[in-house]
Amino acid sequence: MNSVVDPGEDTALAPDWDWQELEEEALDLLKRMLRVDTTNPPGNEALIIDEILEPLLRREGLEPVVLRKKEGRSNLVVRLSGDGSEAPLLLHGHVDVVAADPARWSHPPFDAVEAEGCIWGRGAIDMKQTVAMQITTLLALHRARVPLSRDLIVAVFADEEMGSALGSIWLAETHPELLRAEYALGEAGAYSVHFGGKRFYPIMVAEKGFVWLELTARGEPGHGSMPSRDNAVLRLARAADALGRRPLRFEATPPMKAFVGALADGLGGPKGAIVRSLLKPIPFRALGRALFPDARTADAFSAMLHDTAAPTMLGAGIKVNQIPSEASAHIDCRTLPGQTTQGLIDLVRRRVGSDIEIEVVAEGAPVHIDGSDPLLDAMKGAIASLDPGGIAVTNLISGFTDAKPLAALGARTYGFSPLVLPEGISFAAMFHGDDERIPVGGFRKGLRVFLELVREFCGE
C-alpha cells in the first residue's frame, strides 16, 4: 500500500463519472430510439433491439441475448455479473409505444425534435427514456469495471402495450432463468406530481389486476318491425349500463392507505385532513369531484380505490331489420390488491343479473410489494437528492406493467424512473397522450440519481 495516499474504499467504488458525456450519450440513445416507429401493433421492436441495442452492447464487449416468439418482435436481456454474494437486480423496460396521430401533435411524434427545453416524441415518457437510462447505467458500470456484489440485469421487452404476450409474459414462461431477480425496477414511478402546492414523487409498489370478460345476452330472434321485450340487444345494454353506472366496490387497500396518508401528511392542515377522508367511501363520493383539479384526476383516484368495470367493445346483429338472438360485450375489469378473479365475477354477476353469460377472456393478478426493504429505502434517499424539496411516497397504479410476470417469478417489483417535471407538464396527461415530451434537464438529473442508486445498491 502506498504510505502517502490511501485511495480508500469509497474512491475505488465511486468512479468520477463524466456526467456531461454520460448524459449526452443517454440523450443520443433516447433520440435514436424515438426516431424508430415502434407503434404496437405491429410493434417492430426488432428495429431497436436488433439494430440499435444489440450492436451497441456487443461493441462494448457484452453478450446480450435476443429472443423472439414472433418475427420482428425481439426481446433483449443483458447481464453484468457480480460476485454472487447477493441476488440480482433487474432493470426492465419496453420499447413498443401506443399510436400517435401527427395531426394532434405540435411536433412530429417520431422525429425526436428538441424544442422548448424538451425532447418531443411518442415514447419519451412511456418509456424509451427509462430504457436509455437503464442501458447507459449498465454501460457506465461495465466500462468503469465497478465490482458488483449482485448481477445487474437489463431486460428490454416487446409488446407491453398490447398485454405483453410476445414480451415479458412469454419470456418469463420460456426463459425464467434469464429474468429471476430479487428486485426489479421498471416504469411508472419517481416523477414529480404537483399537488396542493407541493411536489410528490410516487414510487410504484402496487398495481391493480385485470380481468377481461365477455358478456353474452340471448333472446328470441325476430323481425325488427315487431319488437318484443325479449331482445338480446336490450338485455345486453341493460347489463352494460348497470356496470357503468358506478364502480363495482370501494376498498382502501394498504398501499392506498400509505399513499393517501403520505399525501395528507405532506400537505398538512385542513387540506391534509380532507385528503385523508378520501379513504372512506362516502366522503370520497361527496368530495372527490370537488377536491381534484379536473375530472381526469378524480377518475384516476377513483380507480385506485375501487374494483372497476368498463364496457369497451359491443357486438350484435348483422341486419337492421332483424332482431338477433345474441349480443355480446367485452368488459375491462380491474381488481384491487387482494381481490380475486372469482370475487370480481361475483360482483359483476350481482350487477348484471342471472340471465347474462360471463366468460373470462384474460386475467392478470394484482401486485403489491408489502413492507420495507433496503432498495425502497435507497430509492427514497435517491429522491431526496433528486429534489431536496420533493416528498417521496409509495403508490398503486390502476394500469399494469411488465412487473406482473416478474413479480410472479419472485421479484420485489417497483416503478422507479426518476424524472423532475415542471408544474406545467403532467405525467398522467402525457402517458399515451398527445405531445408526449421529456424535459432535458429533468432527464439529466434523473439519470444521475439512477446511476448512483444502482451503483450503490449493486456495488461491493
Interface with Zn ion by CB under 5 A: which residues? 126-127, 187
Between 94 and 412, CB nearer to Zn ion = 94
Residue 67: CB minimum distance to Zn ion, A: 20
The half-sphere exposure of 207 on its side-chain side, counting CA atoms within 13 A, is: 23
Paired strand residues for 154: 78, 91
Between 45 and 126, CB nearer to Zn ion = 126
Query: Which amino acid does the sequence have at 288?
Result: G
Between 189 and 266, CB nearer to Zn ion = 189
Between 216 and 413, CB nearer to Zn ion = 413
Residue closest to 117 by CA, chosen among 368, 419, 442? 442
Residue 168: CB minimum distance to Zn ion, A: 11
Residue 127: CB minimum distance to Zn ion, A: 4
**Can you read off the three cell numbers belonging to residue 162?**
398490447
Paired strand residues for 118: 115, 439
Q: How far is Cα 160 from Cα 96, in angstroms, rounded to an integer?
A: 7
| b/e per residue 260-294 (b: at least 16 CB within 10 A) | bbbbbebbeeebbebbbbbbeeeebeebbeebbee
Between strands 183-186 and 412-415, the pairing is parallel
DSSP string, 47-75: HHIIIIIHHHHHHTT---EEEESSTT-EE
Between 23 and 126, CB nearer to Zn ion = 126
Q: Within 127-253, where are the H helices?
A: 128-143, 168-174, 176-179, 232-244
Residue 96: CB minimum distance to Zn ion, A: 8
Between 126 and 159, CB nearer to Zn ion = 126
Between 54 and 96, CB nearer to Zn ion = 96
Between 88 and 167, CB nearer to Zn ion = 167
Greatest Cα-to-Cα distance within the chain, rounded to the nearest angstrom: 102
Residue 187: CB minimum distance to Zn ion, A: 5
Residue closest to 167 by CA, chosen among 175, 176, 155, 159? 159
Residue 94: CB minimum distance to Zn ion, A: 6
Residue closest to 202 by CA, chosen among 395, 422, 398, 431? 395
- φ and ψ at residue 85, rounded to 5 degrees: -70, -20
Residue 199 has a CB neighbour count (10 Å cut-off) of 17
Residue 419: CB minimum distance to Zn ion, A: 14
Between 381 and 399, CB nearer to Zn ion = 399
Between 127 and 132, CB nearer to Zn ion = 127
Residue 416: CB minimum distance to Zn ion, A: 14
Residue 11: CB minimum distance to Zn ion, A: 38
Between 77 and 127, CB nearer to Zn ion = 127
Site of grid cell 367485452: 330
When CB distances to Zn ion are compared, the closest residue is 126
Q: Which helix (H) or strand (E) holds 383?
A: helix 374-386
Residue 164: CB minimum distance to Zn ion, A: 10
Residue 224: CB minimum distance to Zn ion, A: 45
Q: How far is Cα 361 from Cα 206, in angstroms, rounded to an integer?
A: 23
- φ and ψ at residue 330, rounded to 5 degrees: -95, 135
Q: In sequence order, what E strands does 116-208 have?
A: 118-120, 152-157, 183-186, 193-195, 198-207
Residue 260: CB minimum distance to Zn ion, A: 24
**Can you read off the three cell numbers belonging to residue 413?**
417489483
Between 187 and 207, CB nearer to Zn ion = 187
